[in-house]
Structure 1
């Protein structure tokens, strides 16, 4: 089996916040929205193709991440999606949406407005997610 590798586009667009035995937790580099991405460590491209145990662990991590985003950012709506049209690697978007955000009510994909995160913001979010997700996740050092 090949070691897990993150798709180049995901690597280019995100910060690696943490990692578990099941997945890698990313932060989209767009500070206009709290936008996290969970990437299961698998070569499967669809959730329903995961074996039952891995699917359960991915679902648990997704639920824990969604609960964190809801508590931390208090969005009007939580968007959770696996799209994969541009990046086939299985990845789950967890995005806090607000009626006042720059692209509401449209989807976030393809919207050119963005603001890069400052390193201090990324580190603060890394610490908050690790504190909240706790068990099973370890920090990724460096930005």
Structure 2
């Protein structure tokens, strides 16, 4: 079990394979989606069997809202973006996760949604560590 992992929790293999861990928060693990086209983050509540927002306890729902706000502010600071788009969609991956993406007017996909619009373009490994450090520092 990884540090911070909640007992009985198992990260979906699809989420794990296309992202890297940034840090652990009180409820969620924060992960960076490995796609150089967009600065996209995942917040994944560390609760076993949770597929929908309403599956969380009221206390966990409040904690998730707090962590969304915290991460959104950090993402906006690091990306220097105009806005942060968020999505909670658990269709393909039946594990509750919040996806956040930094968006700016004039970016390659503006103003359209960018959720899974094309095959990912993995990040250059040399640029990954500094980005993770910036995200951690902003938190």
Q: TM-score range with shorter-chain normalisation?
A: 0.7 to 0.9
Residue aligning to 2:64: 58
* 1:71 corresponds to 2:86: no
TM-score by length of 1: 0.83
* 1:95 corresponds to 2:101: yes
Question: 5+ unaligned residues in a row in structure 2: which ranges?
Answer: 1-5
Partner Cα separation in structure 2 for residue 20 and residue 83 of structure 1: 21
Give the alignment's Cα RMSD to 1 decimal: 1.8
Distance apart, 1:2 and its partner CA: 5.8
Distance apart, 1:121 and its partner CA: 2.1
Equivalent residues of 2:76, 2:82 under 8 A apart: no
Distance apart, 1:116 and its partner CA: 1.4
Distance apart, 1:99 and its partner CA: 2.5
Residue aligning to 1:26: 31
Q: Secondary structure at the match of 2:20?
A: strand
Aligned residue-pair number:
133
Partner Cα separation in structure 2 for residue 86 and residue 120 of structure 1: 31
Partner Cα separation in structure 1 for residue 63 and residue 83 of structure 2: 24
List structure 1 segments (4+ residues) > 3 angstroms apart after TM superposition.
none
Q: 1:29-84, CA deviations, whole angstroms, 9 ceiling, x for partnerless residues?
A: 11111100000011221223311221121111111100011111122221011011
Partner Cα separation in structure 2 for residue 121 and residue 56 of structure 1: 34
Partner Cα separation in structure 1 for residue 119 and residue 45 of structure 2: 28
TM-score by length of 2: 0.85
Partner Cα separation in structure 1 for residue 31 and residue 108 of structure 2: 22
Partner Cα separation in structure 2 for residue 113 and residue 23 of structure 1: 26
Equivalent residues of 1:29, 1:117 under 8 A apart: yes
Partner Cα separation in structure 2 for residue 2 and residue 73 of structure 1: 33
Distance apart, 1:3 and its partner CA: 1.8
